[in-house]
Amino acid sequence: MTAHTLPAGLRRPLDGRPRQMFIGGAWTDALSGETLESRNPATRALLATVPAAGKADIDRAVSAARSAFEGPWSRFKPYERQVLLLKIADLFETHWDEISLSDTLDMGMPITRTRANRNRVIGMLRFYAGMATALHGETIDNSLPGEIVSFTRKEPVGVVGAIIPWNAPTAASVWKIGPALATGCTVVLKPSEEAPLTPLLIAELMAEAGVPDGVVNVVTGTGQAAGAPLAEHPGVDKIVFTGSTATGQNIVRASAGNLKRVSLELGGKSPVIVCADADLERAVPTAAMAVFANSGQICIAGSRLFVARAIHDEFVERLGRFAAGLRIGNGIDPQTEIGPLISRRQLERVSGYLEVAPAEGARLVTGGSRLEEAAFADGYFVSPTVFADVTDGMTIAREEIFGPVISAMPFDTIEEAVTRANDTPYGLAAGVFTRDLSNAHRLANRLHAGSVWVNTYHAIDPAIPFGGYKASGYGREGGAEHLHEYLNTKGVFIRID
């Protein structure tokens, strides 16, 4: 792939040239000199090489963040942080075509979807800007003898280590950086080695907006070589992570050294319940795209589909036709609805589930294979897949696949649907389709999930907290709760008599 074959809109041609990481306001290579490749998953073309950071690079990034936190950044007033975040939001708006194109090339999501994330991401930045001046302590009456005034202060927790996945580089970066800037923290961001390019672009925009040196640092590298040292670093006060449950458990163990604060947004195996009275014209495409969006590479994918027995066969037949009609291809094609998986490793993982499902008795309705002909030959494409006759104990009904695979299962009563939906280690999200308001409320109340969508899916708003129950993590992103994850509360007592 050469620069002239790419769509217009990139200030830095993604034609295999080396990129640097951003530490202390300067662009730099890894101290080891080693690099990693970033390739387009639709074509396997080399987009860029990036530094392969190690522990020494993490040390200098954390040092830069600490110096900034204790230096000029500590003197920024809430209003100044608000103005800065609004300027960043304006720059994102100006450069959104470039940001969305970078995401599409680096991790494969169709350009129509990366462009459509505009309002959500920029809205997040403006929400955090608004919150910067709304954070405060309280004056609290106490029961102590004498005249003692007591109040609380909200203070930034300090240096934040942020580790993000490859499936949503822009949104994940902003969900970590935005609240840090609003509260006065500093950040060392470690993007996935599978999709590091947009976070580097974001660092460039942050610097252009006037973020002081060392406040936002972006360090590229593998999870083992760079992520692990960041999670266990004694100079990091808080770690925020989005990714797999297994890695989240490792991060909790790594954080024990200095008992750093931890927020985790982890995996899911989200149920979608379709009641007999559901509007099928709405429910079929919405339930399908609850999984097929981003080729199933999304933590909230509604991959366990429970359908009322009275409409099960019709629903599954319609679902299969919808899936078979989706247009698969390179994400830069505006007609593409389903892009590639991120890597060969992910392709092999998903392919393994496609082989195991029929062996365990699932019936293939549509899809079920890798696409290798013609335009798909060089990429990591899997057809949107629907399995029926799935039982709760099957592998595809228990494990997070992170691919475009739906497991359809019938149910007879609402009580049964709730029990089976909650029978999972995860609790990130759930969906419900019904025209019965009582069932809508009953299910929303009883499903063990951090987000429940009724007659819709993927609805995320900056003002609404997002996060999981059980093995899907703890802490929240979005809403006022998110900002408080980045703050310490200090109690102050002053005797005035």
C-alpha separations of 334 from 198, 291, 328 in Å: 20, 20, 11
- In the numeric block, which tokens belong to residue 318? 């319609």
Q: What is the DSSP string of 267-287?
A: ----EEEE-TT--HHHHHHHH
* Bridge pairing between strands 271-274 and 429-433: parallel
CA angle 284–287–288, rounded 5-degree value? 80
Rounded CA separation 106/121 (Å): 18
C-alpha separations of 191 from 4, 153, 421 in Å: 27, 32, 32
CA angle 125–126–132, rounded 5-degree value? 90
- In the numeric block, which tokens belong to residue 461? 């708003």
Q: Residue type at 207?
A: A
* Bridge pairing between strands 405-411 and 304-308: parallel
- From the candidates 299, 337, 477, 485, give the one annotated as an active-site residue: 299
- Tell whether the torsion through CA atoms of 210, 211, 214 and 217 is positive or negative: negative
Beta strands in 211-290 (DSSP E): 216-218, 238-242, 261-265, 271-274
The phi, psi pair for 201, rounded to 5°, reads -65, -40
**CB atoms < 10 A from the CB of 333, how many?**
16
DSSP designation for 394: S
Based on the number of CB atoms within 10 Å of its own CB, is 92 exposed (0-12), middle (13-18) or buried (19 or more)?
A: buried
- From the candidates 98, 194, 232, 265, give the one annotated as an active-site residue: 265
For the chain, the 3-state helix, strand and coil shares in percent, each to the nearest 5, are 40, 20, 35
Catalytic site includes residue 275: no
Catalytic site includes residue 265: yes
Q: Quick check: 269 and 299 in contact, CB under 8 A?
A: no
DSSP designation for 99: H
Active-site residues: which are they?
265, 299
